[in-house]
Amino acid sequence: MAKPQLTMGPVLFHWSAEQKRDFWFRVADEAPVDVAYLGEVICSKRTPFFDSHLPEVAERLIAGGKKVVWVTMAEVLSKLDRNTVSGMIVLEGAEIEANDSSALSRLSGRPHRIGQYFNVYNELAMEHLARNGACHFTLPVELPAGSFSTLAATAHKLGAGMEVQIFGRVGLALSARCYHARAHGRTKDNCLFVCENDPDGMDLKTHSGAPFLSINGIQTLSHRFLNLSREVGELKEIGVTAFRLSPHSCDMIAVSRLYRELLDERVTADETDNRLVELGVRQPMMNGFFHAKPGFERVAAHASGE
């Protein structure tokens, strides 16, 4: 069996150009990841801030032994959005991860990846996309273990890779409107990029003041971080080939080293969890979706068969 890949997903948040560039440079030079996903997923208005850095970032990642995959946006509503998607797809020789169906017509017949914002919930969807050229699938985070198992078998039959997010806040919904701007009394067109003030998303609280969700521009995320450390062994057994970390402002290099050790069975899940606490990663964490429970829950690994 091939060694499982560890991947670094796209940066979902509006970090400054310098912060994002330095993050990817560190990933290139220090992180034990196999694949790095580059590009804007959430808001096309953010792209001008970082576009000029993309060539040097990609070159540095490749020099560091990482495979670069370019991502398309998860929601396409405007001409700017369409231009952003088109700009990624026409990159010569680039491997693309499509996160919205608007990219599929341009990718038809060309090998490409399907991102986790696609609703690939069953075998028929996976088979249809594979006939169009899809060769790798990152599945939606809300699927339970049984669905992962079924889809892993289908991916194996199709000769496709299958990826699952195992760390970081998870995307739950997308909106045509920017709640981040609205919360600060601004409109989407005149947001003044207020989302830059929240490098891991803006906490959304209930009326009683309890943290509930996180807001990232048009995206609603979980408040808790996903952590599938205790489920990695089962995911490997059912045939998952790649394991995704979603970037946050914590020390992602240390996080990536920790999960690499876990995938290589050099540390236990308990050791992983304890070291995440030591790294200051936000607690408590969650794994409920995997166990067919409410997503925000943290349940024992053996509950996946329930």
Q: By the 8 A CB rule, do 285 and 227 touch?
A: yes
Q: Judge if pTM exceeds 0.85.
A: yes
pLDDT digits (tens, 9 = 90+) for 106-139: 888 899 999 999 999 999 999 999 999 999 999 9
Q: By the 8 A CB rule, do 13 and 19 touch?
A: no
- pLDDT average, residue stretch 156-172: 97
pLDDT digits (tens, 9 = 90+) for 54-105: 999 999 999 999 999 999 999 888 787 777 777 777 666 789 999 999 889 8
Three-class HEC string of 286-298: ECHHHHCCCCCCC
Instruction: Report the C-alpha gap between 84 and 47 in whole angstroms.
Output: 8
More confident call, 176 vs 158: 158
Domain-wise residue ranges, the chain: 5-170+225-305
Q: Which amino acid is at 291?
A: H
Burial of 189: CB neighbours in 10 Å, binned 0-12, 13-18, 19+: exposed
- The tokens describing 134, both together, are 């899809």
Three-class HEC string of 57-97: HHHHHHHCCCEEEEECCCCCCCHHHHHHHHHHHCCCCCEEE
- pLDDT average, residue stretch 17-32: 98
What's the pLDDT score for residue 306?
40
Instruction: Report the C-alpha gap between 172 and 64 in whole angstroms.
Output: 32
Superfamily of domain 5-170+225-305: Aldolase class I (3.20.20.70)
pLDDT of 259 strictly over 70:
yes
What's the pLDDT score for residue 108?
87
Instruction: Report the C-alpha gap between 39 and 32 in whole angstroms.
Output: 20
Burial of 91: CB neighbours in 10 Å, binned 0-12, 13-18, 19+: middle
Q: By the 8 A CB rule, do 245 and 262 touch?
A: no
Instruction: Report the C-alpha gap between 297 and 28 in whole angstroms.
Output: 34
- pLDDT average, residue stretch 164-184: 94
Adjacent-strand bridge partners of 43: none
pLDDT above 90: percentage of residues in the chain: 80
- pLDDT average, residue stretch 266-284: 95
- The tokens describing 184, both together, are 């600060």
What are φ and ψ of residue 251, in 5° steps? -75, 90
| b/e per residue 22-51 (b: at least 16 CB within 10 A) | ebbbbbbeebbbbbbbbbbbbbbbbbebbe
Sign of the torsion formed by the C-alpha atoms of 164, 170, 174 and 180: negative
